[in-house]
Amino acid sequence: MPPYQIRLLEKVEEMYTIEDLIAEIWGGGAGDIVPYHILVTIIHNGGIALGAYEDEKMIGFAYGFPGLSKTSQGLEAKHCSHQMGVLPTHRGKDIGFALKKAQWQMVRQQGLDHITWTFDPLLSRNAYLNIARLGAVCNTYKREEYGDMVDGLNAGIASDRFQVDWWLNTRRTTQHLLDVENRVALGLDNYQKADAQALYTPETDVNSGLLLPPRAFSRPEKKILLLQIPSDYQILRNENLSLAQDWRFFTREVFEESFKAGYIVTDFIYDRSEKTPRSFYVLTDGESTIG
């Protein structure tokens, strides 16, 4: 059994704790903290808040609320998962995965089959959890989704985001969540043998050791695409803010063109075969792989 428990949150006092965790995890000012009374309103009107506890201390949380998606058939109900966070001292323990799995269970009980949320596409850790482990997919890129952000994790960088789709009742999602031990994750060599197209090959700066964004990329043509990003964007951002912004603008163009051409993000690879780890998005042409 894991050394933590996932609990449904319903009390005002628990919303105070979420406020504290937001301040500690994101490191922003008072303006970046979701007020407890908003959280109370969310959970009293169909929303769901979950907490991860270790020795009666909340060490992580996730919350969301009902929303609507525009489709070709009109508006359809969904769950909008707005925020999830785990204390830095407790990361790497599968707490985020457990919170999302509990969210999956609770939202399905409400009769919904679709959850969406946003995340920074240049954060490898988040991409690996959302795409490779949970089985979410993405073909929506949102420029400057939150405007100018001033918290410790986002200040100085354009707030572009992926909006992912998590289809709760698909075989893909249930295999990712319920058949973890038997599911075989594909590595970089598997995709290379499948003739995946690398749209570009970044170089590393010899002085700083930081990954440099290319000046151009190839037009998407093959069934499978590989798009490399920095393995630790936060370190790159802390060392060279201008370079981090260059990566934002370069990948913005690559993702937007790929999505416009009909590709969907279906996997994420954290490759450790070389001395320096490498991170790759896998994009697939068409919707056949998301069912």
Task: For 56-79, write each residue's pLDDT tens digit.
Answer: 999 999 999 999 999 889 999 999
Please tell me the predicted confidence (pLDDT) of residue 185: 86
Neighbouring C-beta atoms of residue 280, cutoff 10 Å? 23
The dihedral sign for the CA sequence 69, 23, 270, 132:
negative
State which H helix or E strand residue 81 sits in: strand 74-86
* 5-178: in CATH 3.40.190.10: no
Mean of the per-residue pLDDT values of the chain: 94
Beta-strand pair 114-119/74-86: parallel
* Residue reference for tokens 């006092």: 13
**Length of the chain measured in residues:** 291
Take residue 236 and report the two structure tokens written for it: 């790159």
Domains in the chain: boundaries? 5-178, 188-285
208-256 pLDDT per residue, tens: 999 999 999 999 999 999 999 999 999 999 999 999 999 999 999 999 9
pLDDT over 60 (residue 261): yes
pTM of the predicted structure, to 2 decimals:
0.94
